[in-house]
Structure 1
């Protein structure tokens, strides 16, 4: 494994690159770079942690507008089950995950994580998933799509503000590190899961981080210096996100669970920044009215806890497409809102996996049907507008897609298809 040239990178970009590389050598370099970090310890009381794996928001930090600030570093570790689910393997997996919770505080400064299971995992059981869980196999959702599908058994999502923490947790779980934040590892995942390293995915969120990747051929110099996402604008506005309650399965044996969809997207950033003006980018990402009224600012700093889409602007989507000749991505997707508000809780992040700019789009929802409905609204195939002005469709390309069930914490270790 070849490590990056430390002298050629900022500290933040060096640490981000180490996470992308992964492995024991990258962890060692990361520890050397981050030896002054004081990571808060976790808890010996599992009952003090939320029953919902996806309950992150109450412990994550928030910005001045009250929006949740996602952890800076993310790793998606794909897993293939060794053998069949047995009570012995369930106990081993649960012990390993409990070790993470003892080692790291459930926060940005510590570690938050989930483990989710694919339809392929549940196909091994004679009984089907209960009716309260809608977890179909992934499929193409728009004309011209041909993504690969996540057909392994599970994915582990590790997230922290500290690169050392996500690397240490990953390596410790797979027997390549002896301790986690000073706690000796007694149980790892050996003999339960194999790590599929060729499908490992990584990423980052943070103001200024995308602009540090202009050395890549697909990242133009014109990307705003303070942009937290590659498309140039803030995201994750509190009022435009589903709550954790909204995305939680309420009934049946998996009450307290949620479903997770992950898409890997390539981005055509040079065309996005060099073909279109700032005003047109606002029109295509938000709505024409956002540009007319100068609501957004350079990177979305004029927006506070909402993307600014009123019911009036959402209802005007078809008219804007027809009469203005352009329609916004967020404007289209917002048509999927119902009486309970937005159906998706997004936790996506930038990536330069494969040395190219992209996004790992991660969404939580009560049912995968909610995601499909939102994706169809975002695609906007029903709108009378030329493809180049149909939101951001001309700039994003789906390469991979997967659906998952995130069980409640009490069922997270190799759940049966119907626990009852």
Structure 2
């Protein structure tokens, strides 16, 4: 494994690159770079943790407007079962996860994680998933898409503000690190899961981080210095996100679970920043009114807890399209219902493969909610040229996956119909 040239990178970019590389050598370099870090310890009482794996919001920091701030560093680890599930392997998996929870506080300063299972995983059981779980196989959603499909068994999502923590946790789970924040690793995932390293995905979120990647092909110097996302604007506004309650399955044997969709996207940033002016980018990202009324600012700092889309502006989507330009957020907002937005987004930037992109991770009650929002965002019903149809001409889907995130009590190799 070849490590990056430290002298050519900022400290933050060097740590991000080590997370992307992964492995014991990258972890060692990360520890050397970071020095001694005080990571808060976890708990020996699993009942003190929320039963919902996706219950992160109370443990996340918030910005000055009150919006939750996602962890800085993310790793998505694809997993393939080595044998059929047994009570013994379920116990091994649960013990390994409890080791993480003893080692690290359930927070961005410690470690947040989930494990989700694909439709392919559940096909091994004689019984089908209950009707309360909407988990179809992922498919292409437009005629122009040809994404790779996640058909392995499970996906582990590790997230922390500390690059050292996500690397250390991953290596500890696969037998390559025997001490996690002072907690001895007595049980790991070896013998249960194979880590599919060729499909491993990583990413980052944070003001200024995208602008530090102008050395990557496809990332122009014009990425705003303070932007937390590659396309230049804030995201994840509290009032434009579903609540954790909204996305939770309430009934049936998987009560407390949610579904997760992960959509990997490549972005054409040079075209986005060099072809269009800032007001036009605002029109395409939000709505024409956002640009005309100067509602956004340079990176979205004028927006507080919502993306600023009123009912009137959402209702004007078709008319705006006929006038020549329609906004990405404006189109997607048409999928709202009486309970508000149906998706809870936890997406993050990536330069996997040395190309800029986004791993769009969303939580929803059922995958049909994601499909409904995605179809509204695509806007095939709108009379507008493709180049002015939101951000469609700048993003390209490369991979899709659907997952069930069981409650913590069922996270270790669940049956399709748990008792």
Task: Please tell me the TM-score bracket, short chain as reference.
Answer: over 0.9
Q: Which residue of 1 aligns with 2:412?
A: 413
Q: Helix, strand or coil for the counterpart of 1:100?
A: helix
Q: Which residue of 2 aligns with 1:397?
A: 396
Distance in structure 2 (CA, Å) of the matches to 1:57 and 1:114:
14
Q: Which residue of 2 aligns with 1:174?
A: 174
Distance in structure 2 (CA, Å) of the matches to 1:37 and 1:327:
47
Distance in structure 1 (CA, Å) of the matches to 2:418 and 2:153:
18
Segments of structure 1 that go 5 or more residues without pairing to the other structure are none
Q: Where in structure 2 are the equivalents of 1:355-366 lying within 5 Å? A: 355-366=354-365
Q: Which residue of 1 aligns with 2:202?
A: 202
Q: Report how far residue 82 of structure 1 moved.
A: 1.1
Q: Provide Cα deviations, 1:283-322, integer angstroms capped at 9, x if missing partner.
A: 0000000000000000000001110001111011011101
Q: Which residue of 2 aligns with 1:343?
A: 342
Q: Report how far residue 217 of structure 1 moved.
A: 1.8
Are 1:8 and 2:8 an aligned pair? yes
Q: Report how far residue 223 of structure 1 moved.
A: 0.7
Distance in structure 1 (CA, Å) of the matches to 2:308 and 2:333:
11
Distance in structure 1 (CA, Å) of the matches to 2:35 and 2:53:
30
Q: Report how far residue 255 of structure 1 moved.
A: 0.4
Q: Provide Cα deviations, 1:72-112, integer angstroms capped at 9, x if missing partner.
A: 00000000001001000000000000000000000010000
Distance in structure 2 (CA, Å) of the matches to 1:32 and 1:72:
19
Q: Which residue of 2 aligns with 1:97?
A: 97
Q: Report how far residue 210 of structure 1 moved.
A: 0.4
Q: Which residue of 2 aligns with 1:153?
A: 153
Q: Provide Cα deviations, 1:164-197, integer angstroms capped at 9, x if missing partner.
A: 0000000000000011001100000011100000
Distance in structure 1 (CA, Å) of the matches to 2:217 and 2:55:
38
Q: Which residue of 2 aligns with 1:61?
A: 61
Q: Report how far residue 216 of structure 1 moved.
A: 1.4
Distance in structure 2 (CA, Å) of the matches to 1:83 and 1:215:
43
Q: Which residue of 2 aligns with 1:133?
A: 133
Q: Which residue of 1 aligns with 2:351?
A: 352
Distance in structure 2 (CA, Å) of the matches to 1:10 and 1:144:
38
Distance in structure 1 (CA, Å) of the matches to 2:313 and 2:253:
40
Q: Which residue of 2 aligns with 1:123?
A: 123
Distance in structure 2 (CA, Å) of the matches to 1:374 and 1:217:
31
Q: Provide Cα deviations, 1:321-361, integer angstroms capped at 9, x if missing partner.
A: 012x0000000000000000000000000000000000000
Distance in structure 2 (CA, Å) of the matches to 1:2 and 1:301:
39
Q: Where in structure 2 are the equivalents of 1:256-335 lying within 5 Å? A: 256-323=256-323, 325-335=324-334
Q: Report how far residue 143 of structure 1 moved.
A: 2.1
Distance in structure 2 (CA, Å) of the matches to 1:109 and 1:33:
18
Q: How many residues align?
A: 419
Q: Which residue of 1 aligns with 2:44?
A: 44
Q: Which residue of 2 aligns with 1:223?
A: 223
Q: Provide Cα deviations, 1:242-282, integer angstroms capped at 9, x if missing partner.
A: 00000000100000000000000000000000000000000
Distance in structure 1 (CA, Å) of the matches to 2:217 and 2:411:
41
Q: Helix, strand or coil for the counterpart of 2:59?
A: coil
* TM norm structure 2: 1.00
Segments of structure 2 that go 5 or more residues without pairing to the other structure are none
Q: Report how far residue 142 of structure 1 moved.
A: 1.3
* TM norm structure 1: 0.99
Q: Report how far residue 225 of structure 1 moved.
A: 0.6
Distance in structure 1 (CA, Å) of the matches to 2:33 and 2:402:
36
Q: Which residue of 2 aligns with 1:367?
A: 366
Moved over 4 A (4+): none
Distance in structure 1 (CA, Å) of the matches to 2:257 and 2:267:
31
Q: Provide Cα deviations, 1:29-53, integer angstroms capped at 9, x if missing partner.
A: 0011112311000000000000000
Q: Helix, strand or coil for the counterpart of 1:58?
A: helix
